[in-house]
Structures are given as C-alpha cells and as structure tokens.
Amino acid sequence: MARIVISGTGVFTPPFSISNEELVLSFNTFVQNFNKEHHEEIASGACQALAESSAEFIERASGIKSRFVMDREGVLDPEVMCPQLPKRDVEERSIQCEISVAAAKEALQRAGKNAEDIDAVIVSCSNMERPYPAIAVEVQEALGISGFAFDMNIACSSATFGIQTAVDSIFRGNARAILMVNPEICSAHLNFRDRDSHFIFGDVCTAMIIEQEEYCSKKDVFEIVGTKLATKYSTNIYNGFGFLNRTRPGQGTEKERLFVQEGRKVFKEVIPIATEVIRNHLTEHNIAPADLKRVWLHQANLNMNQLICKKLLGTEITEDVTPTILDTYANTASAGSIICFHQHHEDFREHDLGVICSFGAGYSVGNIIVRRICL
C-alpha cells in the first residue's frame, strides 16, 4: 500500500494576547460590580456572592499563562466580556475563511505545493460560524482549489479526526493531496463570567497538507503509520448552541449555550480513556511507548498531560518528550496538538516515531502515529 504523509503544516496566530493578570483584572471587576449590585439579595440568601479569581489559581489549575485572541477589548471590558467581531457582508470573506487561508498558505509553502496541487479541503473545528455554505468550500474558492470541500466537527478532536478522514479519502483514491484546516475561535464560545472556565481558551488556526507519498514534492516528511479514533458519550463538556434554540423561547440561558464543563469529572474520566487508546494503538503496530521520540498531546490542561505521560511513558512531562504550548496559547481545542507538532518536529531524524493525540468533548479521542521518513 502506498504511504500517506504529512508534508507541511501552518499556523495563524492572532495579533492580540491577554495575560492571566489582565484577564483576572477584568473578571474581578465584574465580580465586584455584581456583588455590589446584588448586595441585598446576597445578604438575604436569595443570591450567592461571586468569588474572585487570581492569576496564580489559573496557572496552578491549568498551566496557562496567556492566550491569543481575535479581539482584546470586548473580552477585557467588564461590561461586555465577549469578543466583538463585526458582522461581515455576505460578499466578504468570513473570519474563519480568512484565518484558514493564512494558515493554509504557510502549510502549502512548507509542503512545496500550489493550490492546483490540492484535490480537497477539509475544515474541521469545534464551532462553525454558519451551517452553510461550508467554510471549507469558501476556503477552497479563496485559494483557487479544485475538487471538493466539506466541514466537520468533533470538538477538541476535530483535527485528528480530520487527519483520519483525509487519510481514508486518499487511500480510496478520491484525492491525492488534501488541505486540512482547523480555524478555532474558541473565545467566542467561552463564558468569561464563569470563574471555573473563563481562562481556558484562546484563538488560533492550524493547517496541514496530507498527501500520497508518490505525489509528494518534499523529501523529508512524516509518514502516517496509523490512525485510531474513539468516542464515548458524555455531557460533562457541553455546548447547547444550535439552530433549534430559536424554537424554544424562554428556555435555557445564555450560559447553557456557551462552553460548560464539569472539570473534575472530565479530568477523572478522560485520562484513562486517552491513555488506553494510545497504548492499544501502539500495541497494534508493535510499538512500545519507549520507542516514541515525542508525544504531541492535546493542549487542554498541563496536569492532565502530566498524568497521561506518567501512565503511558512512566515519566514526568518534559519539553523534549511532550512539548507544551499551553502557557502562551492556552487551550485552542483541536488545534493544540497540531501547534505542538508544527513547532517541535524539526529535530526528528529518519525513522523517529511520534504520536499526535487529542481528547475532549464527546468524549472523543484521536491518535495519529507518525514516522519521519526521507523520500
């Protein structure tokens, strides 16, 4: 069977960054204003006072120090606490298309490809700004790519599920080279008034070129040795936003239509699922965990990654074996492990092995085994 390879990656990083200290100042101002405004209800027990946050709490709980966002002012305004992204005319490129094109151009350049070399576009991310026409078709049009395009969504595992979907399409002969893009504007689905989660997400877009070995124009690439996906239903990570919301007037709050998480339950339940999927997948390919040079893990929580590494590799997390970008990018949903791969693979030599793994809402786990090869 012909080998299928990753020949190029790209990352679009938003122009604005917010530190923990800045985010906490905004959040605590909101809390103080709320508690002052509702002091009588709080005193009578009809309403509960809100608790303030701290930069130390955020870093201890998650490993996050800052995050990139598409808009700073709206997020940091205690009266708004939401990114302000102006509506664009139908004739204009959508914001997700715009950042997808930026990431895609870098991936194409790194792969030594032009638009005419690509047969399909997959846009796979946790939220789409519209149901149709597909963002992927818009990206296809913007880049001048022929063939076909479609959107897909499996939350934080959208990128790894997108990789397997691309691999399957190439294997079946439906495409020679595919552009897979992950435009994650996570700040738009985050509740910045929720102390337990207001710090979690940042914005970014990643892109990847996946293609047949014989069609590849680059000499040093990563062979996709195997892919493995798994899902298990859970509402411990939940977002209730959808087209049926307007049919239920007065039912549900804005909070229920944003990101909601039972963090402790997720921590307890996802770690063993992810670890088992990685371990079983490696066993299927006769690969020992110790054979891996690097593990590019999903960037949701540093403590989760610590435990997965300890269970899988028997070691603490180190930047060399399991790099992290949480400190500067925060959780970027499906894009996190791809950013890690993009930034930390140049030192791989021929035959070195690695794993790209995601895990999150669904629950969903996607695991990709890769090997550096020279064509």
Q: What CA–CA distances, in Å, run from 272 to 66, 211, 267, 291, 308?
A: 28, 32, 9, 21, 8
Neighbours of 242 (CB within 10 A): 10
CA angle (205 as vertex; 237, 372 as ends), nearest 5: 100
Phi, then psi, of 164 in degrees rounded to 5: -65, -40
In angstroms, the first-to-last Cα distance of the chain is 16
SS3 233: coil
CB 30 within 8 A of CB 81: yes
CB 365 within 8 A of CB 230: yes
CA angle (313 as vertex; 226, 160 as ends), nearest 5: 30
CB 354 within 8 A of CB 370: yes
**ω before 132 within 30° of 0 (cis)?**
no
Please list the active-site residues: 156
- What is the secondary structure of 9-54 as a DSSP string? EEEE--SEEEEHHHHHHHHHHHHHHHHHHTHHHHHHTSSPPPPP--
Identify the sign of the CA torsion 69, 238, 363, 100. negative
Q: Give the count of alpha carbons within 13 A of 67, CB side only.
A: 36
Structure token pair of residue 118: 């690509």
Structure token pair of residue 152: 């897909």
Q: How far apart are CA 240 and CA 260, in angstroms?
A: 9
- What is the secondary structure of 287-339 as a DSSP string? --GGGEEEEEE--S-HHHHHHHHHHHHSS---TTTS---HHHH-B-GGGHHHH
